[in-house]
Amino acid sequence: MSSRLGTGDALVVLGCLCFLTTAVAGAALSPTAPAGATASDEARTTLVGVQGVGSYHDGGSVRLLDGGEEQWRTSTDGVYFDVTRLDNGSVLAGFMADGYQNCGPYSSPCFRTGFRIIDPDPSPEVTYEWSFPVRNRVASEVHDVEPLPDGGFVVADMEHERIVVVEDGEVTWQWNASTRYDPPADPTTTDWLHINDVDRIGDGRFLVSVRNANQLLVLQRGEGVVEVINADHDDASDDDGLVGDPNVLYHQHNPQWLGDGAVLVADSENHRVVELHRTDDGSWEPVWVLRGAAGQRFDWPRDADRLPNGNTLITDTRNARLVEINASGTVVWEHQFDYRTLPYEADRLPTGEPVGAPTYGDAGTMTAAGSQIPVLTPLLRLLSAAVRLPLWVGEIHLFLTLVSIAFVGSGLVVRWRE
């Protein structure tokens, strides 16, 4: 028997060597991600809602960072989303968890979603929970809850696509999205609108994020919708829920009302943070855009808060990091999580997400980081959405992996024909 490698065997070996070299070199040459880095001695206390670790549906927690050091975290019971520190020091958090027996119309055990109040002292403990059962864990979570001045809470209910006010454990007011959008027969069976955020911006006035419509609504109790940010456009398709122009907002999260005529948004599926201003004709347009920081493009950012000092705190979800930048886009603080971690939202304490904050519009700043590579960049983002990739994996590693697969596949075909 000949000891020489045939053409097919040689291609397989070459492909395997190419892949192994790419993986080893990529990991060895990648910069060490900092656990937390700051460009000044200014104290930074940050409250973080983590959706999961290695999964969108498991391993969530609430964490408190002091600079780059973690002070405490909750147990990983379910998933967490928006977090807010209350006046008494407790933390209000949107959540979803499974294993419940009180399941209403659904079989037990089931998932429930709603909000929890967590007392961090002396160790984090859930002291109150308001929740309701849901059909399944996908696209049904309460992503946001905010305290109201009278002691109640306003909740973004994605399962039933509505905004509700909860007082003493009871729903006392609600607005149903079906009053504006044409609903399916049963919204609980599909990811219809994906309402994912609500903020009180005035007396009985709320800013609402309707993710799948690419729109923000200004909602007034007693009147309904009084303004639409990114209003219906000519190419809108009711079939896929794209009502607003996706070039302005595309599946956004966590908008912040900067003041009348200005809003800051984590424009998630456009992989950027954008500040929109109202124009003279009532439409809204970007006046400031940030696509990355510290030389790294954003990957699905889901929160951006303009701080009282004029900086912006950004939760860069799939890059597993928090970054604080100034108006020029320079990073002044960064915290890097383990690459498997999926942070959802972060609040800088003590202010949290203020209603009303400095705007960047007058500067007209347009900042970018890196450049996109056709085909490879979109493909890499699709892959990172499905699998938690190490932070060093970039387009060149993806390209070389595809080349490796091509060599191995070709070798196997040649071997079969031989």
**Per-residue pLDDT for 291 more than 50?**
yes
Q: What integer is the mean pLDDT of 371-390? A: 59
Q: Rounded to whole angstroms, how far apart are CA atoms 368 and 272?
A: 9
Tokens of 133: 């059962």
pLDDT at 74: 96
Q: With helix as H, strand as E and coil as C, how does the chain read?
A: CCCCCCHHHHHHHHHHHHHHHHHHHHHHHCCCCCCCEECCCCCCEEEEEEEEECCCCCCCEEEEEECCEEEEECCCCCEEEEEEECCCCCEEEEEEEEEECCCCCCCCCEEEEEEEEEECCCCCEEEEEEEEEECCCCCCCCCEEEECCCCCEEEEECCCCEEEEEECCEEEEEEEHHHCCCCCCCHHHCCCCCEEEEEEEECCEEEEEEHHHCEEEEEECCCEEEEEECCEEEEEECCCCEEECCCCCCCCEEEEEEECCEEEEEEHHHCEEEEEEECCCCCEEEEEEECEECCEECCCEEEEEECCCCCEEEEEHHHCEEEEECCCCCEEEEEECCCCEEEEEEEEECCCCCCCCCCCHHHCCEECCCCCCCCHHHHHHHHHHHCCCCCCCCHHHHHHHHHHHHHHHHHHHHHHHC
Mean pLDDT on 241-249: 86
Residue 2 has pLDDT above 90, yes or no: no
Starting at the edge strand found earlier in the chain, the sheet holding 205-210 runs: 195-202, 205-210, 215-220, 224-229
Q: Give the residue, 133 or 11, on which the prediction is more confident.
A: 133
Class of domain 41-360: mainly beta
Predicted pLDDT at 26:
47
pLDDT band at residue 361, thresholds of 50, 70 and 90? confident
Predicted TM-score of the model (pTM): 0.82
Distance between CA atoms of 356 and 18, rounded to whole angstroms?
A: 53
Average pLDDT (126-140) is 95
Handedness of CA 318, 356, 359, 244 (dihedral sign): positive
Cα separation, 163 vs 142, in Å, equals: 10
Query: Measured at the alpha carbon of residue 46, what is the angle toward residues 111 and 68, in degrees to the nearest 5?
Result: 110
In sequence order, the β-bridge partners of residue 227 are: 218
Angle, to 10 degrees, between the axis of helix 7-29 and the axis of helix 395-417? 160
Strand partners, 316: 301, 321
Digit-coded pLDDT (tens) for 197-239: 999 999 999 999 999 999 999 999 999 999 999 998 766 555 5
* Tens digit of each residue's pLDDT (9 = 90 or more) over 142-186: 999 999 999 999 999 999 999 999 999 999 999 999 999 999 999
Name the residue ranges covered by the structural domains of the chain: 7-28+393-417, 41-360
Q: What is the mean pLDDT of residues 73-92?
A: 95
Residue 335 is predicted with a pLDDT of 97
Q: In this predicted structure, what is the pLDDT of residue 127? A: 98
- Taking CA 348 as the corner, what is the angle to CA 116 and CA 368, rounded to the nearest 5 degrees? 120
Res 338 pLDDT > 50: yes
Contacts of 94 (CB under 8 A, 6+ apart): 49, 80, 81, 82, 83, 113, 114, 115, 141, 142, 143, 144, 145, 155, 156
Mean pLDDT, rounded, for 368-373: 56
